[in-house]
Amino acid sequence: MQKNGSILDGFPRTTEQAKKLDEILENLGKKVDLVINLVTPKEELIDRMLTRRVCTNQECKATYNIKLNPPKQEGICDKCGASLKQREDDSNAEAINRRLEIYEEKTSPLVEYYTKKGVLRTETVSTSINRMGKDVAEDIVKDIKN
């Protein structure tokens, strides 16, 4: 089992970026081995964004969800004690829907790109099935070790 590697989170976001990444990696004699696509129902995504709070301390930037992962004291960061706020782009359903539209337009084609390369693994992450990102990560680590 190879022990060297990297995990990229949130990159690439477009097919053009993915192609450039492949080119760079190829020049280094490397390649993308696995891409994990986490899928969550749209209604749940919207709810998560509307209930997300972030630490106002730029050194900390901790993230909370007032339903799923609330701070111990409402409005106060557990890690540094700074106040929490709602991101401006999380504050209304219209802005969130626009972000989801942009995702569909720009990022969604990566699913097809990496499916064709045979490296895509799609996992559902949802409170409705009691399966969160941590659960997916644990399963993937087990699979890689086997």
Q: What is the pLDDT of residues 116-143, one digit of tens each?
A: 999 999 999 998 888 888 889 899 888 8
Q: Which domain holds residue 117?
A: 30-145
* Cα(86)–Cα(104) distance, integer angstroms: 24
Taking every pair of C-alpha atoms in the chain, what is the biggest distance, in angstroms? Answer: 50
Residues in the chain: 146
CA proximity to 19, closest of 111, 145, 110, 129: 110
* Cα(7)–Cα(9) distance, integer angstroms: 6
* Cα(77)–Cα(68) distance, integer angstroms: 15
CB atoms within 10 A of CB 92: 13
Note the pLDDT of residue 1.
42
Is pLDDT of 93 > 70?
yes
Note the pLDDT of residue 29.
94
Confidence category of residue 11, pLDDT binned at 50, 70, 90: very high
Give the CATH number for residue 91.
3.40.50.300
Note the pLDDT of residue 3.
63
- Let me know if residue 114 belongs to a domain: yes
Structure tokens at 95: 């802005």
| pLDDT, mean of residues 83-95 | 87
Q: What pLDDT, in 10s, does the model give residues 25-77?
A: 999 999 999 999 999 999 999 999 999 999 999 999 999 999 989 999 999 99
Q: Which residue has the tokens 């499916």?
A: 115
Is pLDDT of 91 > 50?
yes
- Let me know if residue 14 belongs to a domain: no
Pairing of strands 120-124, 35-39: parallel
- How many domains does one find in the chain? 1
pTM: 0.75
- Let me know if residue 57 belongs to a domain: yes
